[in-house]
Amino acid sequence: MRHFIAHSIVGSSARSASAVAFAGLAIFALGGSHVALAQPAAPAPVAPVAPVTTPAPAPAVSPNVGASLPAAAGTGEAAAATPAADAPKEVSGDDPEVEREWRDRDRDLGETNTLTGSTGLLRLQHATVGVPGQFRLGFSTEWFSAGFLCTPEFPCANPRGTGKIVTGASGHMGASLTLGMTVAKLGNGGLETWLSTSAYANSHDGNRPGLLQVLGDSTLGAKYAAPVGDVVRLGGSLEMLLVNGSGSVGLVGGATSARFSGLASADLRGTQAKTPLRFSLNMTYFLDNSAEVLNDIEKPIAQGGRGAPVTRIERYGLKINRVDQFQIAFGGEFFASNEKVRPFIEYQMGIPTNRQNYACKATNASKDNCLANVSVIPSTLTIGGRFAPWKPGFSLLAALDVGLTGTASFIEELAPVAPWTFHIGAGWAIDTQNRPPVIRTKISEKIVAAPIVVHGKVLGLVHEQGKQEGIGSAIVSFANHAELNPLATGKDGRFATSELPDGAYQFHVSADGYKDGTCEAQIVSMKDSQVDCALEGLPKVGSLSGMLRDSSSNTPLSGVNIRLLDAQHKEMTATTDASGNYKFEGLVPGSAELHVAADGYLADVESAEIKVRQESHHDLLLRAKPKNGLISVGAKEISLKQQVQFATDSSTILPASFPLLTEIADVLIREQRLKRVEIQGHTDNVGGADLNKHLSEMRAEAVRDWLTKHGVEGSRLSAVGFGSTKPLNPNVTAAMRARNRRVQVLIVEQDKPTPKPH
């Protein structure tokens, strides 16, 4: 409910407001009554309410403790157990499923209430409902003090009529009490209900009276949620906000509001990694009718009202919104110290929706903006944590709200958002069910001597046929004794069994890279048996597959021959199919070269790594030959129509020259008649002669290295730098010096070209 307390407070400070707020909270804690909103009519009398008693928490229940029977074991002399009256032992009669359910119940005691009573963070609801038989109490207080309601852009008139602008600070203090419980399990999920009531007080010098106080607004809510797998949980909730009247005691039916929410949570503690994080998302439609309590206040003066809307200060103090909101909230929490420390963060925003078709009034005393003219979306960021320092179920809360929007630009349809609000509180979770009693059974044992059995060990070696080196990590299993556990060989390929009774033993042996094999051993008269297990090695070869495509259109290229040189320089060929796929099998492990030359495309040479008994994958892209080539092959030189570009004062080739170098490599790969070429580097005369010669040598070597890496045999290439000793033009202008900075490719040795057929 929204009420004013009409106090004669002039220039009241935040400290005086806090004192009155504490008095209001004391009334609230005792089930206090509601005081009427100040208006021309006389205030309504105060109606006493009976005190509220809080049930005492149920006593904690100790977990069950029970002993278990040891499994029969032993070596050497064995022992058999038969019932007797000797050596009594206790075992627990607990059902593991029941114990697991109780562990889940204990974990649910860590869930806490929101400010309205649902399980969640401060305001954000989780899509969880706990288990039936548990209920949760929560108490929290909130405090704020700052000047934000009256600003130069949005001034507040002095209520005393002096004409002086008011810029005082707002004081706020409030408290809420919540009770939530899971009432039933429905299908795979559960139904949770809750009840909350709140009281808060606000003070500001720009309002008459200076103190606004609200007591007893209540919220009733219900939520259904169910898991979807081990991580995701989905649900929905409904909250009814019951608001008391202004100037009278009792509910105002027309002011009853509601929140309809869709909920989703992702609890990463349910993943295999058990990550201690949980995230939640709420999508809510807030059907807000709170402005109905102001009908009597804002009536015409002739009818006993003010004849004008309430001020911005009153709208903030009474939490009045004149329109609905579509609210989106999301956040997460982290679990630390066995889930006793739970820091969290949440964000909430509200998008106004004018279902009420409310229009700003010309008599708006606060001179606020209107929703139709200014778009304001209130939003807050909350950072906080809950802590469980003592018994399970008890927790402490500390959180800070930070207003992100709606704190400085005000509209008449929405209550302002405080720049910050600090929350502290505590919660108690109580389980009304007790653990089932533990049924204990006494079992007696009598030790009886067992017959002596002769034992021996099997000592074995697993190795490759024709070699003596052992094979490590081979698995040796008993083929004719399934009750015995398999063994693994050590790094040296050896294994040893435990002591076994006399008899024949057959072994099945498997190891990575070898065919499975078998071997046999015989234990006789307590003597260890030696066994040799030889395995046949699998071929240590690999395969390579991939797809050949056009680099521009990404379309497959079919019918293209691909030549491969393996690590031992053995040559193999393959032809791409209709989908551009190719495959080579039986390849020696190591680095292999792929040579591709197709009509209309530049030749390409790439490297691929072949792994033992694995199929490697390597796709190839061919670049189409340009219509206007960047090079031409002459009698003594491969002429370049562009210069090779380098970084300034560096031998690093710029990517802009890669197409040019690709054409040079294509010519040298295709034209094997060009036996040897010389790559020359030249500079201008700027700088020292020694430095220029060194730079030209480095640049020539860089071009040679690039061509070698792209499939040209290094034996066909030489690199030399001349510095500035062989200019093409005098170094007198910038353009001439630029032409002198060049790379030339000279043909040193070649065969005669094959004559073209007529």
How do residues 558-592 score in pLDDT, each as one tens digit?
A: 999 999 999 888 899 999 999 999 999 989 899 99
- Whether 451-535 and 631-750 share one fold: the answer is no
| Residue listed under structure tokens 């379309």 | 555
The whole-angstrom separation of Cα 402 and Cα 416 is 13
Least confident of 18-22, 495-499, 624-628: 18-22
Residue 476 binned pLDDT confidence (cut-offs 50, 70, 90): very high
Residue 43 binned pLDDT confidence (cut-offs 50, 70, 90): very low
Q: Please give the pLDDT value at position 361.
A: 73
- Judge contact between 723 and 692, C-beta under 8 A: yes
Percentage of residues of the chain with pLDDT beyond 70: 80
Strand ordering across the sheet containing 487-488: 487-488, 475-478, 503-510, 517-523
pLDDT in tens, 643-672: 999 998 899 999 999 989 999 999 999 888
- Judge contact between 348 and 328, C-beta under 8 A: yes
Cα(first)–Cα(last) distance of the chain, in Å? Answer: 105
Percentage of residues of the chain with pLDDT beyond 90: 46
- Judge contact between 86 and 446, C-beta under 8 A: yes
| CATH superfamily of domain region 631-750 | OmpA-like domain (3.30.1330.60)
- Return the domain boundaries, the chain: 130-431, 451-535, 542-622, 631-750
Q: Please give the pLDDT value at position 680.
A: 94
The whole-angstrom separation of Cα 477 and Cα 696 is 68
Q: What is the mean pLDDT of residues 386-415?
A: 90
405-439 burial: b if 16+ Cβ within 10 Å, else e: ebbeebbbbbbbbbbbbebebbbbbbbeeebeeee
Q: What is the mean pLDDT of residues 132-142?
A: 93
**300: which DSSP letter?**
-
Nearest CA to 562 out of 603, 512, 502 is that of: 603
Q: Please give the pLDDT value at position 626.
A: 87
Of 215 and 633, more confident: 633
Which of the residue ranges 13-17, 90-94, 500-504, 517-521 has the most confident prediction, judged by mean pLDDT? 517-521
Residue 199 binned pLDDT confidence (cut-offs 50, 70, 90): confident
Residue 756 binned pLDDT confidence (cut-offs 50, 70, 90): low
The whole-angstrom separation of Cα 606 and Cα 618 is 9
pLDDT in tens, 662-703: 999 999 998 889 999 999 999 999 888 999 999 999 999 999
* Domain over 130-431 is classified CATH 3.30.1330.40: no
CA dihedral sign of residues 214, 215, 220, 225 = positive
Q: Please give the pLDDT value at position 228.
A: 93
Give the pair of three-digit tokens for residue 543: 């395969």
pLDDT in tens, 710-725: 889 999 999 999 999 9
- Judge contact between 484 and 517, C-beta under 8 A: no
Q: In a 3-state reduction of DSSP, which class is residue 203?
A: strand
Return the bridge partners of 79, or none. 449
494 Cβ contact list (under 8 Å, min separation 6): 459, 460, 461, 462, 470
User: Is residue 466 scored above 70 in pLDDT?
Assistant: yes
Q: Please give the pLDDT value at position 437.
A: 66
Q: How far is CA 156 from CA 15, 224, 756, in A?
A: 21, 46, 98
CATH-assigned architecture of domain 451-535? Sandwich (2.60)
Looking at the chain, the number of H-run helices and the number of E-run strands are: 6, 38
The whole-angstrom separation of Cα 195 and Cα 177 is 9
pLDDT in tens, 201-242: 888 776 767 677 777 689 999 999 999 988 999 999 999 998
Q: Please give the pLDDT value at position 161.
A: 58
| Residue 177 burial class via C-beta count within 10 angstroms: exposed 0-12, middle 13-18, buried 19 and up | buried
Q: What is the pTM of this model?
A: 0.49
Phi-psi bin for 159: left (phi > 0), alpha (psi -120 to 50), beta? alpha
User: Is residue 281 scored above 70 in pLDDT?
Assistant: yes
Q: Where are the alpha helices (DSSP H) in 78-231?
A: 96-108
Give the pair of three-digit tokens for residue 508: 């099945």
Q: What is the mean pLDDT of the chain?
A: 81
Q: In a 3-state reduction of DSSP, which class is residue 502?
A: coil
With residue 662 as reference, give the H or E element that holds it. Answer: helix 658-670
| CATH superfamily of domain region 542-622 | Immunoglobulins (2.60.40.10)
Q: What is the mean pLDDT of residues 374-384?
A: 91
The whole-angstrom separation of Cα 575 and Cα 579 is 11
Q: Please give the pLDDT value at position 545.
A: 95
User: Is residue 11 scored above 50 in pLDDT?
Assistant: no
Nearest CA to 202 out of 192, 214, 191 is that of: 214
Residue type, 521: A
Q: Please give the pLDDT value at position 35.
A: 35
